[in-house]
Amino acid sequence: MSDITRLRAFVVDTARLLQTQSDEAAILAYLKPKLEDLIRHDDWLPEAYATTTNSRYRQYLLYADPLDRFSIVSFVWGPGQGTPIHDHRVWGLVGVLRGEEISVSYERHADGSLRGTAPERLKAGQVATVSPGIGDIHAISNGLPDASSISIHVYGGNIGRIRRAVYDAETGAISDFISGYSNDTVPNLWPGHEA
């Protein structure tokens, strides 16, 4: 069994920050080193939220703030798995816990077309930021051809409930979606205090 003390501490730090801070730049600046510290240690993620399937990547909810101010999610990528081009509509941090990810950011032009940037490889321990203000459209894929990768994402809302968009790579056409989650239960952040 994993000791999720580190995750609990991260949840508490984030909740305390969001009680008094609403400036996005300040939130990202404060949380980025906190997430870097969390993913520096690979001893806290329960195995149930670290498994993948052959069909598609998994998006496991680890914590959702009851006021929808933030959520924490583990993404588990099997070999060859990735997302379509999508946006978030809220600020976010992506930290690689295990393996590697490849992220391609996209700029949307006035005519609706998309232009991708050079792929960025994120390795274990690295954190990237996204938001509508600094660049919100991207696609992520597993950077390892023969192993799974896991990243921990922190969003400025309950990302599984937010109506977002996927983009057609050729035409830039938009389709709405709500991602939901792969799990029905979340980790107990207070083990030993079960009812």
CA distance 133 to 96: 22
Global pTM reads 0.93
Residue of 86, 72, 78, 71 whose CA lies nearest to 57:
78
Q: Is residue 195 very low, low, confident or very high in pLDDT (cuts 50, 70, 90)?
A: very low
Paired with 142 in beta bridges are 101
What percent of the chain has a predicted confidence (pLDDT) above 90?
A: 85
Residue 154 resides in a domain = yes
* Cβ-proximal residues to 22 (8 Å cutoff; 6+ apart), any chain: none
Domain assignment present for 195: no
Which pLDDT does position 108 carry in this prediction? 87
Q: What is the mean pLDDT of residues 111-133?
A: 93
Residue 173 sits in which domain range? 5-177
The pLDDT, as a whole number, for residue 192 is 67
CATH number, domain containing residue 42: 2.60.120.10
pLDDT grade, residue 112 (50/70/90)? Answer: confident
Examine residue 112 and state whether it is found in any structural domain, yes or no.
Answer: yes
The long-range contacts involving 14-17, CB below 8 angstroms and separated by at least 24 positions, are 14/65, 14/70, 14/72, 14/154, 15/65, 15/69, 15/70
Confidence at residue 73, expressed as pLDDT on a 0 to 100 scale = 98
Residue 185 lies in a domain: no
Residue-level pLDDT at 150: 98
| Total length of the chain | 195
| Percent residues over pLDDT 70 in the chain | 97
Flag whether 32 is in a domain.
yes
C-alpha separations of 24 from 65, 84, 90, 169, 182 in Å:
17, 26, 9, 29, 28
DSSP state of 138: E
How many domains, in total, are found in the chain?
1
**Residue 68 included in any domain:** yes
Does 183 reside within a domain? Answer: no
pLDDT one-digit tens code per residue, 26-80: 999 999 999 999 999 999 999 999 999 888 999 999 999 999 999 999 999 999 9
Residue 142 resides in a domain: yes
Please compute, for residue 91, the number of CA atoms within 13 A of its CA located in the half-sphere on the CB side. Answer: 17
pLDDT, average across residues 150-159: 97
Closest CA to 91 of 140, 133, 124, 34: 133
